[in-house]
Amino acid sequence: MTAIEPDHAVAVVGAGTMGQGIAQVALVAGHPVRLYDAVPGRAAEAARSIAARLDRLVEKGRLAAADRDAARARLSPATRVDELADSSLVIEAIVEQLAAKQKLFTDLESVIPDDCLLATNTSSLSVTAIAGALRLPGRFVGLHFFNPAPLLPLVEVVRGAATDEAAVDRAYATVAAWGKRPVRCADTPGFIVNRLARPFYAEAFRVHEEGFADPATIDAVLRESGGFAMGPFELTDLIGQDVNEAVTRSVYEAFFHDPKFTPSLAQRRLVEAGSLGRKSGRGWFAYGEGAQKPEARTAEPCDASAEVVLHGSLQGPSAVLHELIVEAGIKVTPAPVPDGGHGFIALPDGARLSLTDGSPATTDVQGIAIRFDLALDYRTCTRIALAPSELASPEDVRAAIGLFQALGKKVSVIGDAPGLIVARTVAMLVDLAFDAVGRGVASPEDIDIAMRQGVNYPRGPLEWGRVLGADRTDRLLRSLHDEYPGGRYAACQPLRRRAAVEESLL
């Protein structure tokens, strides 16, 4: 199916920030655009705002003046729904209320031709439910743009239960012709991004709620070890606690209170207190005049020992630490794993330093343990989190700190959190991605593209899964499930099956 021709009109209903952004995208792509809003005068005001943004693009050299003039001439504010009658595509970006959206589209069906494609930009409502009121639900799709629409490339093209495949193909081709990166997904709560992104927030909030680490430290570890662009506390302050919490609750309720999507009580209290983040002057952090953001907890300098003993080999992506320790001038003496378990570094007083396996260090029956967190890349990361056993001595902890400081890393010592911070977050992201593929929500490729381009993750969750291995991810989740029974950390069936396959090939 080919894209809608550029000379065919596109209508955008809803002249708020998102509607204006979508209208601008269609304009720059060459379409005549009809912009309508039910509030009198708002469409005309929005058209002036779009024109001003086009002027700024010219000033920055991103748009030719002639193209700007042509785009402005193609933009028409509408005062009545029937002025959209010549449109080949109508995209709705109004209030997130099912009844309001259904009424809008039933009104549109009375004036537009039967071959006009209808789309909703909803991020939280069911595409199938919106289309349920229509005479021709087969032509109805979801086109979920991300804000700001002119800048962010991702668009989720959502197939409702009654959507014709030809409508999905036409919407996909049109969005691609506009220079966006479309991904296909089924009509599931949260679609791809809002469904799979929940653990990024939820695990950080839980680590904080349980007293293992403070928000600034958790953010720093996810940025500087996990490679994420922003930490979840600073990001939700930017988004708005009310907005982020509403999406979480929506997904939780839509999945019939599945424990994997349980909202955070601490975040609920922020919303109740009116501490919504940057827009209110306070959220997890303060933003008023003179306010200073708390610093991440960072260990003071400690001496590194001249020699460590490496029993067996380190696990998965942490194996490169062997090279880094040698490059730092520390002697590494190899030794067998005494109990047939996983590899670890023996510190001078005998404590075992190893990558987290999801279990608390304090419960390790094989000796005094200190766990370190997962990193996107141990060679280039700038911070490592450590979680010592409650039995570890101050000397043990200083030896572990000094070792990683000798590798050029800042070190954050946190409480004995099962799975620490990055590892438990990534394991949950991987699990939800496997589940989404297994349920036919989207293809593996589209899931990874969506999470990289929609929320700027350093890796797609399935790519993370390949790096970690399904078997290692499954074991980590099993350990977390032992610590927190109830289903939140129970690995999905597709992940367990893949883990069994990998284990059988060893």
- The catalytic residues are 123, 144, 156, 194
Nearest to 71 by CA among 49, 42, 50: 50
Structure-derived torsion over alpha carbons of residues 17, 23, 24, 27, reported in degrees to the nearest 10: -170
Return the DSSP state at 256.
T
Q: How many other CB atoms sit within 10 Å of the CB of residue 503? A: 13
- Location of structure tokens 């809803």: 14
The answer to whether the CB of 3 falls within 8 A of the CB of 177 is yes
Query: Angle at which helices 198-209 and 265-272 pack, to 10 degrees?
Result: 90
Q: In sequence order, which residues have a C-beta less than 8 Å from that of residue 148 and are 6 or more positions away?
A: 17, 21
Q: In sequence order, which residues have a C-beta less than 8 Å from that of residue 57 and are 6 or more positions away?
A: 63, 68
Question: For the stretch 160-191, what's the b/e string if a residue is b when 16 or more beta carbons lie within 10 angstroms of its beta carbon?
Answer: bebbbeebbbbbbbbbebbebbbbbbbbbbbb
What string of DSSP letters covers 397-463?
HHHHHHHHHHTT-EEEE----TTTTHHHHHHHHHHHHHHHHHTTSS-HHHHHHHHHHHH--SS-HHH
The answer to whether the CB of 143 falls within 8 A of the CB of 117 is no
Return the DSSP state at 68.
H
451: left (phi over 0), alpha (psi -120 to 50) or beta: alpha
Helical ranges in 255-381 per DSSP H: 265-272, 321-327
What string of DSSP letters covers 114-153?
TT-EEEE--SSS-HHHHHTT-S-GGGEEEEEE-SSTTT--
d(CA 83, CA 260): 46
Supply 252's token pair. 């939780």
> Which one-letter amino acid corresponds to residue 37?
D
d(CA 172, CA 141): 10
The answer to whether the CB of 6 falls within 8 A of the CB of 179 is no
d(CA 1, CA 46): 32
Q: How many other CB atoms sit within 10 Å of the CB of residue 69? A: 12
